[in-house]
Structures are given as structure tokens and as C-alpha cells.
Amino acid sequence: MGLIDTHAHLADERILPEVDAVVERARAAGVETIVAIATGVEDARVVAGLAERLPGVFATAGIHPHAAASASEEAFATIRALLGHPRVVAIGEAGLDYHYDFAPRERQRESFLRHLELGRETGLPVIVHAREADEDLRGLLREGGAGTRGVLHSFSSGRALLEDALALGWYASFSGMVTFKKYDAADLLRMVPADRILVETDSPYLAPVPHRGRTNEPAFVVSTARVAAQLRGEDPDEFAARTTSNARTLFHLP
């Protein structure tokens, strides 16, 4: 069974000019499906267009916390409309980023709650970006997370946030960070139930070993999955099959 890259920024300027070749390389590597992530309104339009014309590519629609200051009513109206697109399978990425603070924190929190509201309205899963904001995210999940589905993407947060998300029935996704020499969260990787773990590239960021220093792309999720399986003490083929099944369940993929 082929792998699914559950988080790739195909609209990024480092990937978009050669996106057809990137998707072909992924297929050749055994990656059968890619979820192309939106970070704002324009991104959402682009990835929806890619999903329309590229077999095996699906899209999301949402506003990244970096862009939360521009999350106007008009922007959310556009996102809501795009969520009705047949190839759009999730909301986001949304969340909180207190590392860069590119948007005021209150605006980030407001935007995230709006995304959770969209999750309740549509039944689509919410893809969550979390950086140095665990306690606020935990509070917002308690406030607005009931009745939603979702995933903590490229998980690198603390145990308490992971426990809260898992208690909601959410998933956790792991990126190339698991292959880094300094990766020290294997206990949290092993803590995720087998039926709620996913793998991703977060392309073009976080290229896994042995591709460090290169622009990351969906084909490289194979390396991430192999190491994640080793860290969990699982057979790589069984782990690949399980994460693929999980992704199909979460995103209602064909």
C-alpha cells in the first residue's frame, strides 16, 4: 500500500513551478496521495486548482496563524465557499504561532476559534499548527474543540497538548523531524494510538535525513515513515499501511 503525505505546501514558490514533476516523483516513490495545504485565501484557490487537475492531490482551505491579522469576514466567506469544493478535504492550516508572532496573539486566537467553528459546521477535520502556544491551544480546544475532528500537524509540542487532542479523538502527524539526530520526543511518538498517527513532509520545510539541506518534497515522506516505524518498534510496511488507512479515515479520501 502506498503512503499518503498528509501535509505538503504545493503552492509554495519553491515547489509550484515544478509541481507536476514533484507529484510524479512522489508517485514513483510510492506516495499515492498528497494533501496540499493552504495558508490563506490565495493559497487555498491555488491548491484547489491543483487538486482539480492532478490525480492523487487533494486540498485544504484555511488561514495560517501568520496571516490571522488579515482574517476578515470576506476572507472567511471565501474559505467557507472553498470548503464546499469536492477536492477540498480539510480546514487549515490554522492554529497559533507564538514563536514568530507575525500576527497579534488575540487575532490568532480569534481566527483559530473561527476555524474550529467551521469544523463543527462542515464536519471537515481541522489541521492545526502549534508553536510555543501549548497552553492557549489547550484552552481553545476546551472552548471550541467539542464536536470537531482534527490533527496536530508536524507534532513537536508537549505531552499535555497531545493528551488533550487525543482525548478529543484527534490525530497527530509527524514530519521529518523524527529523523533528526537531536529528536528527543520518541516517547510522544509512541504515545499516539496506532489508529490515529499520520506522517507528512511539511514540504518544502523539514527535509528528513538523508535529504537534509534540500527542498523537501512529498517523495521524501518515505524516509520519515521508515524512521517513525523504527522508533515505534513497528514493521515499516505495516506502519505505512496503518498511516495510509488513518489518513483515508480522517480526510474521507477515496
Q: What is the pLDDT of residues 155-182, one digit of tens each?
A: 999 999 999 999 999 999 999 999 999 9
Whether 202 has a binding-site annotation, put simply, is yes
- Average pLDDT in the 187-192 region? 98
At residue 184, does pLDDT exceed 70?
yes
Q: Is position 20 annotated in a ligand binding site? A: no
252 appears as a binding residue in the annotation: no
The answer to whether 66 is annotated as binding is no
Dihedral angle computed from the Cα positions of residues 143, 149, 156 and 106, in that order, rounded to the nearest 10 degrees: -30
Percent of the chain exceeding pLDDT 70 equals: 100
Average pLDDT over residues 28-38: 98
pLDDT of residue 15: 98
- Nearest Cα to Cα of residue 120 among 93, 85, 87, 145: 145
Return mean pLDDT, the chain.
97
With H, G, I as helix, E, B as strand and everything else as coil, classify residue 155.
coil
Give the helix, strand, coil percentages of the chain, each rounded to 5: 50, 15, 35
Q: Domains for the chain: give ranges and CATH numbers.
A: 3-251 (3.20.20.140)
Please tell me the predicted confidence (pLDDT) of residue 146. Answer: 96
Q: What is the mean pLDDT of residues 200-226?
A: 98
In 3D space, the residue among 194, 145, 148 whose CA is nearest the CA of residue 172 turns out to be: 194
C-alpha cell of residue 228: 517513525
The response to whether 64 counts as a known ligand-binding position is no
Tell me whether residue 235 is annotated as binding.
Answer: no
Mean pLDDT of 140-157: 97
Does the pLDDT value for residue 203 go beyond 80? yes
52-79 average pLDDT score:
97
Share of the chain above pLDDT 90, in %: 99
The grid coordinates of residue 29 equal 516513490
pLDDT-derived band of residue 1, with 50, 70 and 90 as boundaries? Answer: low
Q: Please give the average per-residue pLDDT across 219-232, as a whole number.
A: 98
What cell was used for 236? 515499516
Biggest distance spanned by C-alpha atoms of the chain: 48
Total residue count of the chain as it appears in this document: 254
